[in-house]
Amino acid sequence: MKHFSLLVAVGFGMAIAIPAESQVPAGEPTYADLADLALAAPVAAHVRIAEAIELEEEQAVGVPPGLARFYVEADLVTLIRSARGLPSRINYLVDMPRDAKGRAPKLRKKAEYILLAAPVSGRPDSLQLVAPDAQLAWTPARGERLRAIVKEAAAADAPPHITGIGRAFHVPGALAGESETQIFLQTEDRQPVSLTVLRRPGQTPQWAVALSEIVDEAAEPPRRETLLWYRLACTLPRALPRQSLAEAGASAAAIQSDYELILDELGPCARNHPGRR
């Protein structure tokens, strides 16, 4: 454990910068919980605990009340994502909740976890968790969900990060009850994204999302628990901003109604970690 004293000396400043309100709650992480962590983490790894040492109070400076800090050494089982490789054994610090009697939990040898982390500069075998709950108990199902998120995020056509809502337009059709609403979204890389709602007499309203400037007939809503669904369901505000409706005039109410339809169809962005965002 050659890096133990170094981590104790300088690692805490990084660890305690993470907000304590993101502690692990009871319950299975949702898709949004996993996506929050995966998209923030340059490194995702499946590891097996080799040794875990609870730090004494004088070593664990700044640990929030109710938590115990551990120095952990773990063997790499599978590297899920990293720009660079990792050594076969890595180390990191993790804060774990104490029980009602103030006792620290056990991090048992050979227990397996998923780590969502960042590399520590100058220490190739050390990692820094991206959040207090970024050490997740390994299960094959969690591993597969995480791999799917990472794969989508790395794809050339990955949906962009949405930063806001641009202009929205509504065009009535030739028949009563026929209309089209188009809402343009703002993105981090200025990639075009738009939402379209089509209404026809006697038919269920249809909506779709397009990731290009052209909306064709093949456009459709995103599937649940995909990165595109996450980008929309977990980012879009609950109401359109006023500036998006500045040119809408009498059509503003229709646009708001169609936007609410989209939000209803997307469903909630459920998180078991409400303090994360």
Give me the pLDDT at residue 60, please.
81
**Does pLDDT of 216 surpass 80?**
no
State the pLDDT at residue 185: 97
**pTM, to two decimals:** 0.85
Predicted confidence (pLDDT) at residue 105 exceeds the cutoff of 50 = yes
pLDDT at 181: 96
Residue 15 has pLDDT above 60, yes or no: no
Residue 58: what pLDDT?
Answer: 80
**pLDDT tens digits, one per residue of 158-201:** 999 999 999 999 999 889 889 999 999 999 999 999 999 999 99
* pLDDT higher than threshold 50 for residue 127: yes
Q: Given this model, what pLDDT does residue 19 score? A: 34
Domains in the chain with CATH codes: 4-154 (2.40.50.120), 162-266 (no CATH)
DSSP the chain: -TTHHHIIIIIHHHHTTS-GGGPPPSSPPPHHHHHHHHHH-SEEEEEEEEEEEEPPTTTSTTPPTTEEEEEEEEEEEEEEE-SS---SEEEEEEEEE--TTSPPPP--TT-EEEEEEEEETTEEEEEEESSTT-EEE--HHHHHHHHHHHHHHHSTTPPPPEEEEEEEEEEE-SSTT-EEEEEEEEETT---EEEEEEE-TTS--EEEEESSS---TT-BPPPTTSHHHHHHHTTS-SS--GGGGTTTGGGHHHHHHHHHHHHHHH-----S-TT--
- Given this model, what pLDDT does residue 201 score? 94
Q: Is residue 214 predicted with pLDDT exceeding 90? A: no
Q: Which pLDDT does position 148 carry in this prediction?
A: 96
Give residue-wise pLDDT tens across range 55-82. Answer: 998 888 888 889 999 999 999 999 999 9
Give the confidence band of 25 by pLDDT, cuts at 50, 70, 90. Answer: very low
Residue 23 has pLDDT above 90, yes or no: no
Amino acid 275: pLDDT: 56
Q: Residue 17: which pLDDT band, with cuts at 50, 70 and 90?
A: very low
Percent of the chain with pLDDT over 70: 87
